[in-house]
């Protein structure tokens, strides 16, 4: 996986220097591993030529993903909740991702399927369980996940830090789940994926959709924030054909499916679609975060003596917690994810929703604003006593 330094004065996707400062804030931003940052400021720039948004990558990014990331390693089955069904059943993100791959690709017996930048490779594991005849391959820029790969990937099909030459041109399908946004060099990333796929083979890349889930902008280890136009430019310029971008199969992400042609050559691409609405949407996301911070502060001032809880222990919940002037008024984070319950975050316990403290009269709803009201309406325990809610 490429680790080339990239000039932050030019767009990482199209190379344009026509950049606009989109977002800059002091002390705001989080790593995906749920750590508030210790940076003096965070920022993002918008490319007015292709609508891509980029954030300066973390310093020594290679070392960070080698030993510092350790995402969801405390439990092999730990995962994020994708959806909660009406009967209360949790559908986890890896389940949904594996099902999406099976839906979009015809995997014949013996198909070589690589998870590129795979971490724990939970989706590949689930796909292998469902499609037992496929040959799974796992690659990551760290070796800390090897004990998990050993459970279902043959040793010869595992690699850490660099991809074996013998894998080049051999894969029928290369998968990438939420990895492209972390790289400082997205063009190098998609080119290397192409080298691994046989002619006629496909890549399946899942990337956050900032326009559906605005938290992507303040996750500081996400260096790239893509749009449909910037994704199309990235893959077509690299030489892929049949580039399809799905924005509804995963409710908070884009899925790119593309084919490697017989001869992979970089292409001179022009952005032909109208990107003005996308550029305005990116500006709106940045403005929304500024508005959210102001509303949290005003709400806290109006409830200065109240005991509170924060519903959600993900990025939105951490944003609320870091914005509050007095976190000591927060008794708990509430989270429906059983893998998070019983831990602490920023020194505050994470509890199940049915454990909401009786004296908590204020609820900061740290969830995606597009989904939060519907979710909170379904949590009966929060409505057993009068409470004031702040929705982001």
Tens of pLDDT, residue by residue over 268-309, are: 988 878 999 999 999 999 999 889 989 999 999 999 999 999
pLDDT of 27: 46
Q: How far is CA 89 from the centre of its chain?
A: 23
pLDDT of residue 148 exceeding 50: yes
pLDDT, position 259 = 98
Q: Which fold has domain 303-391?
A: Rossmann fold (3.40.50)
Contact 1, 183 (CB under 8 A): yes
Ranges 56-60, 164-168, 236-240, 350-354: which has the least confidence: 56-60
Give the C-alpha separation, 52 to 315, whole Å. 22
* Measured torsion, CA atoms of residues 189, 252, 146, 219, in degrees rounded to the nearest 10: 70
pLDDT at 64: 58
Q: Give the residues across from 31 on adjacent strands.
A: 35
Q: Any idea where the domains of the chain sit in the sequence?
A: 1-265, 303-391
Who contacts 247 (Cβ-Cβ below 8 Å, separation ≥6)? 209, 212, 228, 254, 255
Q: How far apart are CA 285 and CA 181, in angstroms?
A: 17
Exposure of 238 by Cβ count < 10 A (0-12 exposed, 13-18 middle, 19+ buried)?
buried
Evaluate if residue 147 carries a pLDDT over 70.
yes
What are all long-range contacts of 35-44, with beta carbons under 8 Å and residues at least 24 apart? 36/318, 36/322, 36/346, 37/220, 39/220, 42/218, 42/220, 44/217, 44/225, 44/286
Res. 378: pLDDT tops 70:
yes
| Cα–Cα dist 116/99, whole Å | 18
Distance CA 54, CA 43 (A): 9
pLDDT of residue 189: 95
Ordered alpha helix ranges (H), 114-227: 122-130, 146-149, 186-196
CATH topology of domain 1-265: Rossmann fold (3.40.50)
Query: CB atoms < 10 A from the CB of 148, how many?
Result: 18
Residue of 292, 245, 313 lying closest to 273 (CA atoms): 245
Confidence band for 158, pLDDT divided at 50, 70 and 90: very high
Lowest mean pLDDT among 2-6, 29-33, 371-375: 2-6
Task: State the average pLDDT for the chain.
Answer: 88
What pTM value is reported for the model? 0.85
Do the beta carbons of residue 44 and residue 22 sit within 8 Å? Answer: yes
Residue 4 is predicted with a pLDDT of 40
pLDDT of residue 2: 39
Tell me how far the alpha carbon of residue 387 is from its chain's centroid. 32
- pLDDT tier, 356 (very low <50, low <70, confident <90, very high otherwise): very high
Would you say 162 and 179 are in contact if contact means Cβ atoms under 8 Å apart? no
Same fold for the pair 1-265 and 303-391? yes
Percentage of the residues of the chain whose pLDDT score is greater than 90:
66
Query: What is the predicted pLDDT for the residue at 87?
Result: 81
């Amino acid at each position: 996986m490429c680790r080339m330094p990239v000039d932050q004065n030019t767009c990482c996707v199209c190379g344009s220097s026509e950049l606009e400062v989109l977002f800059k804030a002091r002390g705001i931003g989080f790593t995906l591993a749920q750590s508030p940052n210790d940076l003096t400021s965070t920022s993002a720039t918008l490319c007015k030529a292709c609508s891509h948004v980029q954030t300066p990558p973390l310093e020594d990014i290679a070392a960070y993903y080698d030993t510092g990331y350790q995402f969801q390693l405390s439990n092999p089955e730990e995962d994020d909740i994708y959806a909660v069904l009406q009967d209360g059943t949790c559908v986890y993100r890896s389940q949904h991702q594996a099902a999406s791959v099976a839906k979009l690709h015809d995997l014949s017996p013996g198909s070589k399927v690589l998870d590129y930048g795979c971490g724990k490779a939970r989706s590949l594991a689930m796909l292998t369980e469902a499609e037992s005849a496929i040959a799974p391959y796992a690659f990551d820029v760290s070796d800390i996940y090897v004990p998990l790969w050993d459970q279902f990937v043959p040793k010869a099909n595992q690699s850490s830090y660099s991809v074996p030459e013998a894998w080049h041109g051999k894969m029928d399908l290369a998968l990438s789940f939420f990895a492209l946004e972390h790289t400082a060099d997205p063009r190098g990333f998609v080119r290397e994926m192409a080298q691994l796929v046989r002619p006629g083979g496909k890549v399946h890349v899942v990337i956050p959709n900032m326009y559906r889930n605005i938290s992507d902008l303040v996750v500081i280890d996400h260096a790239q924030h893509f749009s449909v136009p910037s994704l199309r430019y990235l893959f077509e310029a690299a030489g892929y054909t049949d580039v399809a971008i799905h924005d509804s199969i995963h409710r908070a992400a884009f899925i790119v499916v593309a084919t490697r042609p017989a001869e992979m050559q970089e292409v001179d691409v022009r952005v032909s679609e109208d990107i003005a609405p996308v550029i305005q949407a990116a500006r709106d996301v940045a403005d929304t975060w500024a508005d959210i911070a102001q509303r949290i502060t005003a709400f806290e001032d109006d409830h200065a003596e109240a005991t509170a809880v924060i519903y959600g222990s993900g990025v939105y919940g951490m944003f609320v917690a870091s914005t509050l002037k007095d976190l000591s008024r927060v008794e708990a984070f509430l989270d429906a994810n059983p893998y998070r319950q019983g831990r602490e975050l920023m020194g505050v316990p994470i509890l199940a929703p049915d454990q909401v403290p009786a004296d908590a009269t204020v609820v900061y709803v740290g969830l995606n604003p597009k989904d939060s009201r519907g979710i909170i309406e379904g949590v009966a325990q929060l409505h057993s006593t009068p409470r004031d809610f702040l929705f982001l």
